[in-house]
Structure 1
Amino acid sequence: MLAQALPVTVELALLSLAIAVLIGVLAGVVAAVRRGRPAEWVANGFALLGLSIPNFWLGLMGILWLSVALGLFPASGYVPFFTDPLGNLHRMVIPAVVLGTGLAAVIMRQTRASMLEALSADYVRTARAKGLAERQVIGVHALRNSLIVVVTIAGLQLGVLISGAVVTERIFAIPGFGKLTVDAVFQRDYPIIQGVVLVTATAYIVINLLVDLLYSVIDPRIRVA
């Protein structure tokens, strides 16, 4: 049962993380580069909304607007990826956006803070003094040195997504880890609950190890040390 439910939750977590990183990093970079301008205010407003809106309410609103009113996406259910890849992604869009919104807000705030620190560093001033284009200064020098914080947050949140997608999976009737956990609690199925705890703890350990290894890829100074 764990082997059947885990891939579903891992897929949902990875899709949510991809959406969160894409939106959060872009918004954080824009907020840092356009500091004190309307773009920063919009990004900060987005982050505030993302942190404030509960997942269950956002999921219900997504079903109401995108599924019931507009008919763009199915309201619930799950199709295995290898059975119907397009149908699978079509059904996973709303749950992934719901889970990724709050995480995107966290990543945006951390990226903005890290980018502001990097943009005021000596190596950035040196790069600008050498005549490098602003795109190179931001993308190659400032952003790369800011990714350590982003990778740390993303790695920790991936573990949270794997173990904490309970409400979202219940709302959208996705047969993943969260739904399995809730059913096991109601049925007092202690072996399943113990298995969930064991797999979740193992996932945290593996993800943190991968994040530590990724540090040396992002920052050559760590690899040399």
Structure 2
Amino acid sequence: MSTQDKLPVTQILAERLPITVELAALAIVIAVLVGVGAGTIAAVRRGKLADYAATGFGLVGLSVPHFWLALLAILVFAVGWGVLPASGFVSFTVDPLDNLRRMVLPALVLGTGFAAVLMRQTRSAMLSSLSADYIRTARAKGLSEARVVGLHALRNSLTTVVTVLGLQLGALISGAVVTEQIFVIPGFGKLTIDAVLTRNYPVIQGVVLVTVVGYVVINLLVDVAYAALNPRTRLVAAADG
């Protein structure tokens, strides 16, 4: 039971958790599209302008703090151009369009640093794959460059990307705490800050429990993704069994 509003902790978590899950899902989609796409292009165009641009983006994304990027995004998109709301939250069930408009800025802020990490790891994994013997064999067979990059090099590189994706989800949760506080989003992160400031220990215990379970589930999903991406993983597991 919460010591502040005398509500069951499970009820509070059930109300707040879906909001953060939505924010994290949007941030992951943005991070994967931008990070994997930029990393692939940088590896294919190694040493050229696209490679330098992607590397520069990765450096900026890793260096800029979430809170500063959030304030800058509000200043540009909300105050300067007036195209997106500066803060607040509307439930998806109430108004789906307004919900997405209010979640775009937080998702962009949260996904930028994540995308930078994915870009660097994708570029590194792709460079290793593109120099492998099976890539030279695929090109010798006359396969198009798009099939060589997408079907062979990128697929084999995704194992590394999925590993980083699973590990970075913890950082995504910690980033959501700051982002939700700035954009006044009543999600899991803001609930954590409010519970700590008010010493609401039952809620803090619930937050910790849900976070630990989330880590376990994420690691399980990463292991399942290994088997889907790399059939050799299934063969090794079957041989060990």
The TM-score by the shorter chain falls in which range? Answer: over 0.9
1:15 aligned onto 2:19 = no
1:121-140 alignment, distance < 5 Å: 121-140=132-151
Deviation at 1:100, TM superposition (A): 0.3
Q: Report if the CA contact (8 A) 1:78-1:175 is conserved.
A: yes
Alignment deviations for residues 72-125 of structure 1 (CA, whole Å, 9 cap, x no partner): 000100011111111111100000000000000000000000000000111000
SS at match of 1:165: helix
Distance 1:92 1:164 in 2: 15
Q: Which of the residues 199, 202, 206 maps onto 1:191?
A: 202
| Compared CA separation, residues 105 and 49, structure 1 to 2 (3 A) | same
Report the counterpart of residue 146 of structure 1 in structure 2: 157
Deviation at 1:163, TM superposition (A): 4.6
Distance 2:225 2:202 in 1: 34
1:38-49 alignment, distance < 5 Å: 38-49=49-60
**What one-letter code is carried by the residue in structure 2 that aligns with 1:200?**
T
Q: Which of the residues 96, 114, 127 maps onto 2:107?
A: 96
Alignment deviations for residues 164-199 of structure 1 (CA, whole Å, 9 cap, x no partner): 411100000000011101111111001111111110
Count of residues in Structure 1 that have an aligned counterpart in Structure 2: 225
Q: TM-score, normalised by structure 1?
A: 0.98
Report the counterpart of residue 115 of structure 1 in structure 2: 126
Report the counterpart of residue 169 of structure 2 in structure 1: 158
Give structure 1 stretches of 5+ with no counterpart.
none
**What one-letter code is carried by the residue in structure 2 that aligns with 1:10?**
V
**What one-letter code is carried by the residue in structure 2 that aligns with 1:168?**
T
Of 151-160 and 192-201, more deviation after overlay is shown by 151-160
Q: Report if the CA contact (8 A) 1:156-1:204 is conserved.
A: no
Deviation at 1:25, TM superposition (A): 0.5
Q: TM-score, normalised by structure 2?
A: 0.91
Give structure 2 stretches of 5+ with no counterpart.
1-11, 237-241
**What one-letter code is carried by the residue in structure 1 that aligns with 2:207?**
V
Deviation at 1:157, TM superposition (A): 2.0
Q: Which of the residues 16, 22, 27 maps onto 2:38?
A: 27
Q: Which of the residues 42, 55, 61 maps onto 2:72?
A: 61
1:202 aligned onto 2:213 = yes
Distance 1:41 1:94 in 2: 26
After TM superposition, which residue ranges in structure 1, 4 or more long, deviate above 6 angstroms?
A: none
Distance 1:174 1:203 in 2: 20
Distance 2:167 2:100 in 1: 24
Distance 1:159 1:81 in 2: 25
1:173 aligned onto 2:217 = no
- Aligned-residue CA RMSD (Å): 0.9
